């Protein structure tokens, strides 16, 4: 305990001294900015990709710390973003299937609608309706810890958490929100999400000019080198360059608004690439992401950090940097700040139902080797999926495989059944097409990685073995969404207390002229309020239906 105390003490001194100059010069509190994007591996020019030009993201890397071993927990949006907002493994809490309902952006509780039959079956053949993941009572969106600490939290504009975002999680989550709306003297946490590199933009942006020539792009060994493939990769690269320009404009706005010198900027993607054997994959191609952290005052500028980082570490790290101790229940570990944790040795990933397609894969990565366990080896690696087949390249490759026209490495990902175990050496096989699981030279590596995966699955009580329909019944007994209890308002002279009997519920409130607006304060302690002023309150727990309004 003494060693831990002194470690934290000296880290506190170090961080305060590092930021003192910037803080004193502008006399403003430290802000945090997240710039997030979609469906992109670490293929930027700052990550040594010579076939793409991303000068604005490169600038952030030059002025910040570039992490080379950052990974998502799942190779697709919603489960990955669940892990980011909660700091928890999706498979631990039953949030691993993509996706649970129409929760992409914030909706008021009265606007949430659920489909009973959307044509999706789980692995037991039972219907999967829309639902919300119900987390344990102790789990909160990490932003509520920031709000409690006095931060103005703005999300512009994606949620996609596997549950409808609680109205208590953000000060502003309604789209086009600005950090400039933060009250004077109040620090902010601002999230700006860009869709430009999303899988869907391969076809949505098909008529936009290409800024990267198809003849110049590198073709992964698991694709045939044909025009339609080069065209898709060129579109992917051009979309990334378009994203870079958008980020350049955002950085210019930060400079005009005078927030750069007192803000920490995180840049990251929610999971790996957007083409076949990238998005939804459980190996390096699906989980590996770019992550750059830019501190004010030039702290660690230009450094490259090879420590293993999971995206679910982002929330705990923000809290740690701001001096807020992350709760012990989180699987996420702070990789910087006052409560910086020991580096991870392994990254664990999962793949289960994706839209109408069901599978079960688990993986463990250590920065060099990738181990994959296939729990449904009778299924093909590339299964049919209506959404991703909107990309012309994907559909064409599936047709070429049907016709038997793919051979050698380019046919590898179209295996009709999967081996129970896969092992890849990224140092010699970056495209993961040479399975070493049966190679006696790698037996020790195979055994070690297999053991780590088994230990992890046991530790998190992997929910992937349970049919999704059964998990839903656990969340919603009798298939009825639980309802948060109404808030009890009590006054003691000029002090107002708010109580909700639903364990784990968060309470939002409005006072006076703000009653009826879209903005809610987060209740954290008794409120000083004149007896003549009215107060309205409402409670919500993750996955529950919100309470009715209470007014006093």
Whether residue 436 lies inside any domain: the answer is no
For the segment 49-69, the average pLDDT, to the nearest whole number, is 98
From 303, 323, 343, give the residue that closes a domain.
Answer: 323
DSSP class per residue in 158-216:
----SSPPPTTS-SB-SSS--GGGSPTT--EEEEEE--TTSTTHHHHTTTSPPSS-GGG
CB of 284 within 8 A of CB of 365?
Answer: yes
- Percent of the chain having pLDDT more than 70? 95
Tens of pLDDT along 69-105? 999 999 999 999 999 999 999 999 999 999 999 999 9
Decide if 456 is inside a domain: no
> Of 130, 132, 71, 108, whose CA–CA distance to 306 is shortest?
71
Q: What is the CATH number of the domain that holds 513?
A: 2.60.40.10
By DSSP bridging, strand 188-193 and strand 31-37 are parallel
Span of 13-22, 30-39, 386-395, 509-518 with lowest mean pLDDT: 13-22
* Among 32, 31, 35, 33, CA closest to 289: 35
Angle between helices 314-321 and 77-86 (to 10 degrees): 30
Looking at residue 29, its pLDDT comes to 81
Share of the chain above pLDDT 90, in %: 93
Q: How many separate domains does the chain show? A: 2
Residue 478 tokens read as 């009798």
| Amino acid 504: pLDDT | 98
Q: Helix crossing, 55-62 with 227-256: angle to 10°?
A: 60
Note down the domain range covering 535.
Answer: 488-551
The answer to whether 528 and 542 are in contact (CB under 8 A) is no
Question: Comparing C-alpha atoms, which of 531, 491, 530, 524 is closest to residue 508?
Answer: 524
In 251-368 the beta strands, taken as DSSP E runs, fall at 263-269, 288-294, 303-310, 347-351, 361-365
- 302, 323, 344 — which closes off a domain? 323
DSSP, collapsed to helix, strand or coil, labels residue 128 as: coil
Single pTM value for the model: 0.95
Task: Tell me the average pLDDT across 257-277.
Answer: 97
- Listing DSSP states for 361-391 in one string gives EEEEE-SSEEEEEES-TTS-SS---TTGGGS
pLDDT at 17 over 90: no
Mean pLDDT across 395-414: 96
How far apart are alpha carbons 41 and 278 in whole angstroms?
Answer: 9
Instruction: Give the pLDDT confidence score for residue 446 in this predicted structure.
Output: 98
pLDDT in tens, 486-511: 999 999 999 999 999 999 999 999 99
CA distance 213 to 196: 18
The strand pairing partners of 192, in sequence order, are 35, 156
Has residue 402 been placed in a domain? no
Of the three residues 288, 323, 358, the one that is the final residue of a domain is 323
Distance of CA 221 to the CA centre of its chain: 28
pLDDT for res 7: 44
Interval 107-112 mean pLDDT = 96
Confidence class of residue 28 from pLDDT cuts 50, 70 and 90? low
User: Considering the domain boundaries, does residue 360 fall inside one?
Assistant: no
Is position 391 within any domain? no
Task: Point out the residues that are catalytic.
Answer: 77
Is the per-residue pLDDT at 38 higher than 90? yes
Cα-Cα end-to-end distance for the chain: 47
**Average pLDDT, rounded, for the chain:** 94
CA distances from 48 to 42, 43, 52, 144, 377 (A): 9, 7, 9, 37, 36
Q: How far is 109 from 482, CA to CA, in rounded Å?
A: 13
pLDDT digits (tens, 9 = 90+) for 216-251: 999 999 999 999 999 999 999 999 999 999 999 999
Residue 184 lies in a domain: yes
Average pLDDT of the segment spanning 142-164: 97
Where residue 245 sits, what CATH number does that domain have? 3.40.720.10
Identify the band that residue 277 occupies on the pLDDT scale cut at 50, 70 and 90: very high
Instruction: Check whether 421 has a pLDDT greater than 70.
Output: yes
Q: Under 8 Å CB-to-CB from 50, ≥6 apart: which residues?
A: none
pLDDT at residue number 11:
44
């Amino acid at each position: 305990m003494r060693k831990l105390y002194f470690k934290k003490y000296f880290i506190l001194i170090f961080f305060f001294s590092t930021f003192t100059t910037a803080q004193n010069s502008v006399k403003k509190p430290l802000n945090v900015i997240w710039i997030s994007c979609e469906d992109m591996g670490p293929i930027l020019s700052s990550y040594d990709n010579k076939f793409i030009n991303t000068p604005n993201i490169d600038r952030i890397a030059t002025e910040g710390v570039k992490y080379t071993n950052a990974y998502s927990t799942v190779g697709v949006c919603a489960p990955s973003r669940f892990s980011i907002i909660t700091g928890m493994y999706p498979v631990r809490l039953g949030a691993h299937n993509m996706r649970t309902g129409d929760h992409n952006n914030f909706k008021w509780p009265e606007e949430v609608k659920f489909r009973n039959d959307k044509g999706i079956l789980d692995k037991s053949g039972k219907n999967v309706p829309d639902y919300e993941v119900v987390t344990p009572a102790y789990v909160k969106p990490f932003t509520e810890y920031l709000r409690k600490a006095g931060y103005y939290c703005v999300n512009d504009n994606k949620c996609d958490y596997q549950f409808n975002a609680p109205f208590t999680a953000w000060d502003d989550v309604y789209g086009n929100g600005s950090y400039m709306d933060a009250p004077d003297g109040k620090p902010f946490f601002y999230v700006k999400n860009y869709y430009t590199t999303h899988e869907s933009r391969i076809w949505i942006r098909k008529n936009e000019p290409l800024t990267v020539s198809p003849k110049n792009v590198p073709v992964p060994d698991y694709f045939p080198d044909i025009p339609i493939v080069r065209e898709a990769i060129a579109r992917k690269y051009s979309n990334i360059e378009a994203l870079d320009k958008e980020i350049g404009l955002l950085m210019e706005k930060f400079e005009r608004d005078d927030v750069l010198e007192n803000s920490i900027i995180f840049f990251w993607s929610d999971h790996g690439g957007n083409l076949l054997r990238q998005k939804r994959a459980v190996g390096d191609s699906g989980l590996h992401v770019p992550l750059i952290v830019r501190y004010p005052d030039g702290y660690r500028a230009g450094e490259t950090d090879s420590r293993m980082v999971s995206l679910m570490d982002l929330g705990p790290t923000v809290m740690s940097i701001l001096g807020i101790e992350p709760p012990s229940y989180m699987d996420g570990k702070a990789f910087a700040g006052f409560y910086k944790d020991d580096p991870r040795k392994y990254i664990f990933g999962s793949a289960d139902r994706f839209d109408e397609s069901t599978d079960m894969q688990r993986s463990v990565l250590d920065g060099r080797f990738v181990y994959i366990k296939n729990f449904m080896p009778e299924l093909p690696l590339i299964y049919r999926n209506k959404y991703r087949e909107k990309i012309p390249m994907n559909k064409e490759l599936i047709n070429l495989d049907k016709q038997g026209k793919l051979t050698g490495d380019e046919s590898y990902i179209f295996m009709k059944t999967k081996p129970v175990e896969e092992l890849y050496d990224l140092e010699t096989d970056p495209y993961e097409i040479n399975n070493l699981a049966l190679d006696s030279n790698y037996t020790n590596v195979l055994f070690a990685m297999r053991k780590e995966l088994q230990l992890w699955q046991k530790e998190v009580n992997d929910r992937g073995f349970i049919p999704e329909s059964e998990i839903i019944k656990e969340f919603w007994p009798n298939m009825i969404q639980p309802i948060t209890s109404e808030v009890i308002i009590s006054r003691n002279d000029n002090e107002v207390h708010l109580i909700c009997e639903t364990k784990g519920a968060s309470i939002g409130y409005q006072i006076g002229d703000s009653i009826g607006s879209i903005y809610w304060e987060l209740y954290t302690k008794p409120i000083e309020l004149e007896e003549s002023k009215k107060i309205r309150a409402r409670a919500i727990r993750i996955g529950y239906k919100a309470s009715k309004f209470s007014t006093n």
